[in-house]
Amino acid sequence: MPELTDLSVRQALDALRRGEISSLALTQACLARIDRLDPAVHAFLTRTSDLAVQQAGAADRRLVAHRAGRDEGPLPPLLGLPLAVKDVLAVEGIRCTCGSKILENFIPPYTATSVERLLAAGVVIVGKTNTDEFAMGSSTENSAYGPSHNPWNLEHVPGGSSGGSAAAVASRMVPAAVGSDTGGSVRQPASYCGVTGLKPTYGRVSRYGLVAYGSSLDAVGAFGRTAEDVALLFELMAGRDARDATSMDVAVPAIRLDPDPSLAGMRIGVPKEYFIAGIQPEVEAGVRQAVAQLEALGASVREVSLPYTEYALPVYYLIAPAEASANLARYDGVRFGLREQSAQVLDQYKRTRGAGFGAEVKRRIMLGTYALSAGYYDAYYGQAQKVRTLIKRDFEQAFTQVDAIATPVAPTTAFRIGEHGDDPLSMYLEDVFTLPTNLAGVPGLAFPVGFDARGLPVGMQLMGPHFREEILFRIAHAYQQVTGWHQKAPLV
Ligand code: GLN
């Protein structure tokens, strides 16, 4: 039997069902590993050990009763599985900071639908993970509570903004975690940390209870070590929710992953616009090799073109800050979290927001407010929306020719903490390959395909048509059947 913390979601669930392990033992192994490693990795902002032990005990009672034939109904599919949740998703009664001082003591009175569905499926919540403040960033350095560290090299960032969730899964503190992705925040940290991460189709997973950043871009996604594990979580989170008007009423197919890794009949496109100057040669080589592997499994590979790719970055950095500036208006010291008292209400707003928000959040609010102001709205925001439509059409056009598109996740592997410190624009460039999917609303899956010379993971991204996540899982699962990158563990 491998170490408990080495078990994948699938393996853990099978062992729990068979009674070979208990949820309490598994949960305590996770908590002990967090105790040991988190002082160095800093993946967690809040630990919920007491709750976890209580949930694990309840899961064990149900598992025992079921095996003894005393529990009639079907067992919840994830019963007893430890899980970490990014600290931008509300869980009733547990502090939710969004990595910001302004919400330092905010305890939500309700639970995000995505998490509620996982709880109904039996998960055990071990804690809330670190994030760039309000999910704005690509490194988790923008957290008001200090950066997370990459388990493969503690001097490097884990990526962001869901860096805490990615680092927790990579360092085997938990078998799986939940995150959010507005422009790459699940896929890019998954890639930097060598784990598998999904950004679903926009509207596929309810955003209710996800603290809003860019409402037309935000998606709740999941991390695991294998595509199969991420698919298990995704299936349960997805589906229409009456509490999110943008969640779609599209059936969620049960994802069946074939043990036969053949990809015969699968058409994969490689867009020339994603192999640009400035890309780290080892990233390009790793992705090209992985594409060759997919071809060896029977997929047909062809070049495709997504001509508007170069506009994704400027378009995103108009639309996301514009929506953020509106979404963040609610933090005024009256209803939530921090309040800097003043006799004058306007002064109270100013002081609260001045003290509560960090530099990057303030920058985004200023950018967004400017882009939305009278006189500039049409020139910036309106124009960006038009170009967004062209980017979406690029994908529609490409998906008439291929079933999925394969690209790098980011131009580089994990950079050093502080490397992009005084140059926000160079940091924004890390998102150049992940932003287009959020603008188009299509799903994207990141998974490890190798390492660079410094031993840092290289990731590949698969993008698919709207609501066709199962294609991405099928391809990544086939790849993971015949390669071992996803099984490598950092020596933290
Ligand atoms: N890095 C991008 C940003 O800062 C994307 C972040 C995200 O996906 N939440 O906006």
Q: Is 181 in the pocket of ligand 1 (CB under 6 A)?
A: yes
Is 216 marked active-site?
no
| Confidence label for 445 from pLDDT (cuts 50, 70 and 90) | very high
| Confidence label for 372 from pLDDT (cuts 50, 70 and 90) | very high
Helix axes 312-327, 359-372, angle to 10 degrees: 100
Catalytic residue among 86, 148, 165, 180: 86
Confidence at residue 401, expressed as pLDDT on a 0 to 100 scale: 98
Closest atom of ligand 1 to CA, residue 135 = 9
* 427 has a pLDDT exceeding 90: no
Is 386 marked active-site?
no
Confidence at residue 283, expressed as pLDDT on a 0 to 100 scale: 97
* 213 has a pLDDT exceeding 80: yes
- What percent of the chain is modeled with pLDDT above 70? 100
User: Per-residue pLDDT tens for 231-283?
Assistant: 999 999 999 999 999 999 999 999 999 999 999 999 999 999 999 888 999 99
* 189 has a pLDDT exceeding 70: yes
Q: Is 116 in the pocket of ligand 1 (CB under 6 A)?
A: no
Task: Give the residue from 279, 86, 278 showing the smallest Cα distance to 182.
Answer: 86
Confidence at residue 336, expressed as pLDDT on a 0 to 100 scale: 80
H/E segment holding residue 222: strand 219-224
Q: Is 465 in the pocket of ligand 1 (CB under 6 A)?
A: no
* 412 has a pLDDT exceeding 80: yes
User: Per-residue pLDDT tens for 112-167?
Assistant: 999 999 999 999 999 999 999 999 999 999 999 999 999 999 999 999 999 999 99
Question: What would you report as the CA-atom Rg of the chain, rounded to the nearest whole angstrom?
Answer: 21
* 71 has a pLDDT exceeding 90: no
* DSSP summary character for residue 5: G
CA–CA distances in Å: residue 273 to residues 78, 107, 323, 340, 408: 40, 44, 27, 48, 11
Strands 300-304 vs 267-271: parallel, antiparallel or unpaired: parallel
Confidence at residue 218, expressed as pLDDT on a 0 to 100 scale: 98
Confidence at residue 1, expressed as pLDDT on a 0 to 100 scale: 61
Q: Is 184 in the pocket of ligand 1 (CB under 6 A)?
A: yes
* 492 has a pLDDT exceeding 90: no
Confidence at residue 422, expressed as pLDDT on a 0 to 100 scale: 80
Q: Is 185 in the pocket of ligand 1 (CB under 6 A)?
A: yes
Contact 219, 205 (CB under 8 A): yes
Mean pLDDT, all residues of the chain: 96
**Higher local confidence (pLDDT), 426 or 171:** 171
User: Per-residue pLDDT tens for 333-365?
Assistant: 988 889 999 999 999 999 999 999 999 999 999
Confidence at residue 2, expressed as pLDDT on a 0 to 100 scale: 73
Catalytic residue among 185, 206, 247, 325: 185
Q: Extract the runs of DSSP E, i.e. beta strands, from 272-385.
A: 300-304
| Substitution site in 185, 192, 423 for ligand 1 pocket (most atoms within 8 Å of beta carbon) | 185
Task: Give the residue from 44, 258, 248, 22 showing the smallest Cα distance to 146.
Answer: 44
User: Is-above-0.85 flag for pTM?
Assistant: yes
Contact 161, 141 (CB under 8 A): no
Q: Whose CA is nearest to atom 10 of ligand 1?
A: 136
